[in-house]
Amino acid sequence: MTDRTDTATANGETGAPLWLLAELTYRCPLQCSYCSNPLDFAAVKQELTTAEWIDVLTQARAMGAVQLGFSGGEPLVRKDLETLVAEARRLGFYTNLITSALGLDEARIHALRDAGLDHIQISLQASDPDVAAAVAGSAKAHAKKLAMARAVKDAGYPMVLNVVLHRHNIDQLDTIIALCDDLGADAVELANCQIYGWAHLNRAGLLPSQAQLEAAEATTQRWRQRLAERGRDMRLLFVVPDYYADRPKACMGGWGSIFMTVAPDGAVLPCHSARMLPMDFPNARERPLQEIWYDSAAFNRYRGDDWMQEPCRSCDERHKDVGGCRCQAYMLTGDPAATDPVCDLSPDHHLIEAARREAADDGRSAQALTLRNTRESQVFCRT
């Protein structure tokens, strides 16, 4: 994330979208209980075709986008991934594949490398195969991920692993980092579960306690020292969950500031969660990206600071954190223009404090997790 003050929008001008997240599909062989896809993802039909995606990439690059993430769902489900990677390379993007590794094999790794893919990030659920299976809804995925992580490294890519931490695996962080070390990882993102999408539905069963979080930070620090003593270059990035911060993040660097997501059906969003908000988003099938980015009501809705309410409106920090995350404000208060309740100046901060208190209850670990599924019709409801 970029500090809001670094962006052109802080001066009232809209800069170019530097990051494009191409959510190629919501389809996925896994069922992670913290998936950030919308709860009603199965209702999204008619994915963009190969030609439509190439048009999206071409338009975004012409607008100035330089970083391109291919994600999903599981982007490897798309048989045209290699074609899209090659086109992105030709256009001059720096490309990153964000994948579970399900659908990957050595032939495909080489095909993606030949197409010009710059970077692959593989997600791991846990070090313990049973925990991994319970969280992702697949008993076979864990071994496959480990094999593919090694194959990615053998193909000459830096091995970047992403582990989503939550109350069911955070106490095993020592063995998780040891596994990453054993695999030869170059970098590990220890990403505490952020509470969006399916993770919001499962918040009670996922949010770790403060004590768990502090122990995990200490474990990470011990590993950093141990790795440095061994001269082992494996970067550990520990991402603190919003629910344990006192100030919110400048989400996406600011609404419509540097980040643009295109969803599988062509919906154009300021972030991957925004389609749950009570507003309409334009579609790349119907309008040029340039027009959507600069002129649409959706992208202009939370730019600048005119939309802010108190306490943000008169706060000295409003250009630093832009009042936090619109999606989080909506999920917690029902008002997307509210101050993000993560902020301890927010009148709704008690909601965060209550969630922390609930997470301190050990009994919460027995809470059943709802796996991402297509069978239940899940509707967002205010907590």
Number of residues lying near ligand SF4 (CB under 6 A): 14
How far apart are CB 250 and ligand FES at their closest, in Å? Answer: 9
Answer yes or no whether residue 247 interacts with ligand SF4 by CB under 6 A.
Answer: yes
Q: Report how far residue 28's alpha carbon sits from residue 377's, in angstroms, rounded to the nearest whole number.
A: 18
Among 339, 352, 355, 369, binds ligand SF4 (CB under 6 A): 339
User: Is there a binding annotation on residue 32?
Assistant: yes
SS3 call for 254: coil
| Contacts of ligand SF4 in 317-336 (CB under 6 A) | 317-318, 321, 323-324
Answer yes or no whether residue 251 interacts with ligand FES by CB under 6 A.
Answer: yes
Q: Report how far residue 176's alpha carbon sits from residue 266's, in angstroms, rounded to the nearest whole number.
A: 37
Structural contact between residues 265 and 48, judged by C-beta atoms closer than 8 angstroms: yes
Cβ nearer to ligand SF4, comparing 14 with 346: 346
Sign of CA dihedral 50, 162, 167, 29: positive
How far apart are CB 302 and ligand FES at their closest, in Å? Answer: 8
User: Is there a binding annotation on residue 327?
Assistant: no
User: Is there a binding annotation on residue 271?
Assistant: no
Answer yes or no whether residue 119 interacts with ligand SF4 by CB under 6 A.
Answer: no
Answer yes or no whether residue 325 interacts with ligand FES by CB under 6 A.
Answer: yes
- Burial zone of 148 (CB within 10 Å; 0-12 exposed, 13-18 middle, 19+ buried): buried
Among 327, 331, 342, 359, binds ligand FES (CB under 6 A): 327
What CA–CA distances, in Å, run from 70 to 74, 99, 118, 291?
A: 9, 8, 11, 23
Residue 308 CB: number of other CB atoms within 10 A? Answer: 18
Structural contact between residues 209 and 180, judged by C-beta atoms closer than 8 angstroms: no
User: How are beta strands 259-262 and 19-23 bridged, if at all?
Assistant: parallel
- The annotated binding site is made up of 28, 32, 35
Q: Which residues bind ligand SF4 (CB under 6 A)?
A: 247-248, 311-312, 315, 317-318, 321, 323-324, 339-340, 343, 345
Q: Which residues bind ligand FES (CB under 6 A)?
A: 251-252, 271, 273-274, 325-327
- The annotated binding site for [4Fe-4S] cluster is made up of 28, 32, 35
